[in-house]
Amino acid sequence: MNFLQKFLIICSGSSFELLKKTPTDINKHVGIGGVILFTGILAALSAGYALNTVFDNIYAATGFGILWGLMIFNLDRYIVTSMKKSGGFFRQFMTALPRLIVAVLLGIVISKPLELKIFEKEINKQLNVIVNRNKAELQKGIDARYADLGTPFSTERKQIYAQIDKLRAEYNNASAELEKEVVGTQTETTTGREGYGPNAKRKADLKKQKLAEIDLYIQQSTPRLAELNKDLDRLTAQKEKEIETAKPTEENYNGFAARMQALDELSANNPILGTAAIFIALVFISLETAPVLVKLIAPKGPYDFLLEKHEHSFKIFSKESIEIMDIKSEKRIRHEIEKV
């Protein structure tokens, strides 16, 4: 065996001593070790990319990625080595079922960050859509909230302006009536006699009264209008400040969860991309479950028989040791009883 074969056999968790006696099984265990090794490497790359999007620090992402890859490597190695070719197929399948479930879950976990990297350009484009949509929803929510806060002020201001408009309309009506009376236009409220007579004098006094009412009301309402405008300007300033404060949060909405959301929306809106994402996940699930399936489907080989014999010899040796210890214990007890 060369160095590479030895290294891959270490990765598979198989025994060198037993494989030396079963050379026909070396290639099978080398292949299992290669699958376990590359699964760990892909897990490290996947975790490194995922953590880089979270921490935005390549050194931390690299360290955690390597740690995650080693953990997956060791877990896969344990799953494969813990499977024994003993009993019928159904018994082996039921024994392997929990390991298959764990392998499928690991395949899904490993595949997702790599899917994010593969579809990075599409995801970045969808993120812009999500960010703009979130901004619009944020703007709408803030506008609605501040509109409710400003409703009492704007309603009172409208009432004041409405009253001013009403007084101005009354003043304009009085002016029109006076003009008609002076020029001699006959209506229901004018005499039809041209000139500045008693009726025209009364209409002139009414016009002056309406003008005085306008001036008085404007004078009285100006301070309140200033307060209302100040309150509305304050709310507008608060609203703009809140929007500006929220903008960086929305614009930086590009973390791991945001990318997962973008990928989910792309998969729902684009059947081709959704199908591709499913097949990518299936590829990694296949890689993760391959060692377990190989162990399960492959016929019992020389290595398995030799391993079973080796383990069985230890079981027999253990039983014999326990029996010998029991016999010696009984002899000591009888000897002590005879002394008494």
Q: What is the pLDDT of residues 2-52, one digit of tens each?
A: 888 888 888 888 888 888 888 888 888 888 888 888 888 888 887 887 778
Q: What's the number of CA atoms in the CB half-sphere (13 Å) around residue 13?
A: 17
Classify burial at 88, counting beta carbons within 10 Å of its beta carbon; exposed 0-12, middle 13-18, buried 19 or more: exposed
pLDDT given for residue 165 in this prediction: 92
pLDDT at position 149 over 70: yes
- Using alpha carbons only, what angle is made at residue 199 by residues 197 and 204, rounded to the nearest 5 degrees? 95
How far is the C-alpha of 19 from the C-alpha of 67, rounded, in Å?
30
pLDDT, mean of residues 227-239: 89
- Quick one: 144 and 252 in the same domain? yes
* Spatial contact of 70 and 47, defined as CB atoms under 8 Å apart: no
Look at the block and give the residue holding tokens 């040796």.
Answer: 317
Domain that holds residue 22: 3-125+270-299
pLDDT at position 87 over 70: no
Q: What is the pLDDT of residues 204-226, one digit of tens each?
A: 888 889 889 889 988 999 898 89
- Quick one: 21 and 76 in the same domain? yes
- Quick one: 326 and 248 in the same domain? no
pLDDT given for residue 162 in this prediction: 93
Q: What 8-state DSSP symbol labels residue 184? A: T
pLDDT, mean of residues 170-199: 77
Task: Tell me the pLDDT of the chain averaged across its residues.
Answer: 83
Residue 280 lies in a domain: yes
How far is the C-alpha of 43 from the C-alpha of 74, rounded, in Å?
12
H, E, C per residue of 264-292: HHHHHHCHHHHHHHHHHHHHHHHHHHHHH
Q: What is the pLDDT of residues 269-279, one digit of tens each?
A: 888 888 888 88
How far is the C-alpha of 110 from the C-alpha of 71, rounded, in Å?
12
- Quick one: 25 and 83 in the same domain? yes
pLDDT at position 166 over 80: yes
- Quick one: 140 and 101 in the same domain? no
- Quick one: 80 and 11 in the same domain? yes
Category of 34 on φ-ψ map: left (φ > 0), alpha (ψ -120 to 50) or beta? alpha
pLDDT at position 260 over 80: yes
